[in-house]
Structure 1
Amino acid sequence: MSVLVINCNHWIGYHIVNTLLQHDYLVDGIESDTELDELSMFFGRNSSFSFYNIEDRKRYDTCICVGEHGHLETIDAERVFIINPGKMNDWMDYDTATMIFAAHLYGEWMPMTEKGFYDNQEFIAFQSNDFKENAIYIEDFANGLIQWIQSSNLSSNLEVKSERNNGKVNKENQNSIYIRSSLPLEKRMTALQKHYQLIQRKKNMR
């Protein structure tokens, strides 16, 4: 299966590309002009990854867009998945798209401090109940995404929630998918903080 990932150098796009490559997908990527390109270098040399070339006029089985993309209508794909879409008028007329709304995604390479991160301009503290109940680790989300793109029976809108939130919302909502954490939150946070501190040390050495 061929997959195009739009905004592949976004930290979420980076994890999605890595997960797709680990599952032996052929992946093309479009970089965002507003993101740094350093994350693209990690998979840029993988033989199963290529940067998108509009002149190739390729048709993809699946297109995954992280956030906004101003020219989504120019992409030729059988199915489109848009993760946390931005302005409604950018995507509301795209008939084959599945919108995935996932709050409080977190993981390595995301913009953060030692105390928390911003999600839609709202600061989410790592010690808050909001984070502990609703946060979804990015690799758990990406592995779920692998299953969703293989499914032929999905709603046009999916709300992705943490399993820890299950029971606190209306379970009859068929558009909700609950993600099970593959590791305890405490272990995830220990690894995330170590990664953050390592990146900060490298920045300070430059």
Structure 2
Amino acid sequence: MWSGNPNGSLVVEATDLRPGRALDVGAGEGGDVIWLAQQGWQVTASDVSSRALDTILDEANRRGLAVTCQLADANAREPFARNAFDLVTAAYASIPRTPDLRGVHNVLDAVAPGGTLVVLSHDLEAMRRTEHQQRPFDPEAYLHIDDFAAVLDAAQGWTIEVNDKRPRPAGSASAARHADDRVLRARRAG
């Protein structure tokens, strides 16, 4: 369902960045894409769903915004242009975990030198508690912020600027079920 709202944590992390080229991995409904484009970013929306991308493109066109849509799987071989984006964001992206963490590496490889990575996800502690045992998917089958943080810690030329847990932004559709989010922001050396 189209809310049209950007993720509040992305707004906090990206507001002071100078607009350039941005990639939204797992763009979903496109609220973040539309907001970034309104801030002057040249945005590429990436998703595995052509339906999601069609919705984003329709809304961008309705608002007179230039947005590029790219049908891509983050675990594919080189799904994104390398070293091409000043901002790469992935908000609640459901990227299946592979043994080599290919999705993490593909996302990081898309960030240009001097660029910023912002990854947002649900805090999984609540999902691991007993009351959430009957869940429609296994969160352990998907990449976590900790996967990104571990790869960043081991990589040369990256600085993790933020890695914390925050209350869900006001107005979030799933705020009643997930009280907290994880936020990771890292900068690649120029």
Query: Which bracket does the TM-score occupy, shorter chain normalised?
Result: 0.3 to 0.5
- TM-score, structure 2 normalization: 0.39
- TM-score, structure 1 normalization: 0.37
Q: Which has the higher contact order (CA 8 A, sep 6+)?
A: 2
Higher-Rg member (1/2):
1
